[in-house]
Structure 1
Amino acid sequence: MTVHPLRLAVLTRNLEPGRFGTTVTEWFERQADRHDEFKPDLIDLSAVPLTDLPDRIDEADAVVIVTAEYNHAYPGDLKTAIDAVRRPWYAKPVAFVVYGGRSRGLRAAEQLRLVFGELHAVPIRDTLAFQETDFTPTANPAAPADDPATPTGEPLDPTTPAAATALLDQLAWWSRPLREARATTPYPA
């Protein structure tokens, strides 16, 4: 029996050079690409029309949302994108990689769990959460001359890659049976 790799949509808001969200997204995508189970599909909301988003999510076996915390929640453009998809979220496992401030973005993840529960998706319990100080600083050519370093590269905590692997393992565990269920029996929503 051939087991096809799981398609993992990595949904992020913006991949501008020099932004911390870009650092987090690119690092996580590398982790997903190294994972034997997944083939990542990076979706940059600033570059993908909302009309294309439902098809990309529908084709995915699982989704990871990478977002900042904004005003103790998540950004409005992410909410617009989530709402533009609707039915493709049904019975789809979703995980969160969040960042920002004292909470490391965890308040965004809490609220996203509520939204995805309402959308009949399956939010994964574990979350990866970061602050800018969690990554190694490296020279950034896009930064102003008086700010020559920005967080890029790898997390400083050596246990972070293992935490990413654990999250991806849980996501894979949910993804295979839910993919089969969606293929054989329409979700009753």
Structure 2
Amino acid sequence: MTVFRLAVVCRSLAPERFGGTATAWFARQVDSRDDFKPDVIDLSATPLAELPGRIDQADAIVIVAPEYNHAYPGDLKTAIDAVREPWAAKPVAFLTYGGRSRGLRAAEQLRLVFAELHAVAIREGLSFHDVPGSFVNGDPTEPGTTEAATLLLNRLAWWSHTLREARTQTPYVL
């Protein structure tokens, strides 16, 4: 079986931050599979100079992001811009959270950014509202969330396989 490297990028893994809770739960979903090896990247603890190499090694990426003021946070944009070329020709999914919109406005803006970076944003995503009430004891309270994560990971596996094979056969030129 092919194992894909999945970079899970979040702003902070601090336990008192919702992003850390959501990331830890998602990482457990990834760990339960045989087709992905997760690399959880805590942007609050990872030097920006290290980030391009870790993304370069990834076959797929999941961005964990809150919505702030109808957008995603500036420090996430700084991290994305620090990487640039290693995003190209890789699938990206979003796990977002915040307010009634569930962070979906942040995800839509991130789709535009990643399109410009030649990444492939997949349709499936995860989103949470009522932060932090949408999780109890580290698990989501909304029915169907685990199934949605499984579907997202199934799609990421397909795109990881397809795009890795394409990058191997014909290197992507920017």
- Shorter-chain TM-score: what band? over 0.9
Contact 1:68 1:99 in 2 (8 A): yes
1:23-47: CA deviations, max 9, x gaps? Answer: 1110011111112211100000011
Cα root mean square deviation, aligned:
1.0
1:126 match: secondary structure: coil
Aligned to 1:14: 12
Partner residue, 2:135:
135
Query: Displacement of 1:185 after TM fit?
Result: 1.3
Deviation at 1:188, TM superposition (A): 2.6
> Which residue is equivalent to 1:59?
57
Task: Report the CA distance between 1:159 and its aligned residue.
Answer: 1.0
**Residues in 1 aligned to 2:86 and 2:44: alpha-carbon distance in whole angstroms:** 20
| Residues 138-153 of structure 1 mapped to structure 2, 5 A cutoff | 152-153=137-138
Return 13-22 or 167-176, whichever deviates more.
13-22
**Higher-strand-fraction structure:** 1
The 3-state SS of whatever aligns with 2:100 is: coil
1:148 is matched with none
Q: Name the CA distance, whole Å, in 1 between partners of 2:30 and 2:143.
A: 17
Give the C-alpha shift of residue 4 in structure 1.
3.0
Q: Which of the residues 106, 117, 123 maps onto 1:125?
A: 123
2:26 is matched with which residue? Answer: 28
Give the distance between the partners of 1:177 and 1:9, measured in 2 at CA: 17
One-letter code of the match for 2:66? Answer: A
Q: What code does the residue aligned with 1:29 have?
A: A
Q: Percent of counterpart pairs with the same letter?
A: 67
Q: 1:111 is matched by which residue type in structure 2?
A: Q
- Name structure 1 gaps, 5 residues minimum: 137-151
Segments of 5+ residues of structure 2 without an aligned counterpart are: none
Supply the distance in 2 between the matched residues of 1:162 and 1:179 (Cα, whole angstroms).
25
Instruction: Tell me which of 142, 145, 148 is aligned to 1:160.
Output: 145
Higher-Rg structure is 1
TM-score w.r.t. length of structure 2? 0.96
Separation of aligned partners in 2, 1:127 and 1:119: 19
Q: Distance in 1 between matches of 2:154 and 2:107?
A: 19
1:181 is the counterpart of 2:166: yes
Corresponding pairs, count: 172
Structure 1 runs (4+) greater than 6 angstroms displaced? none
**How many angstroms does 1:161 deviate by?**
0.3
2:168 is aligned with 1:170: no
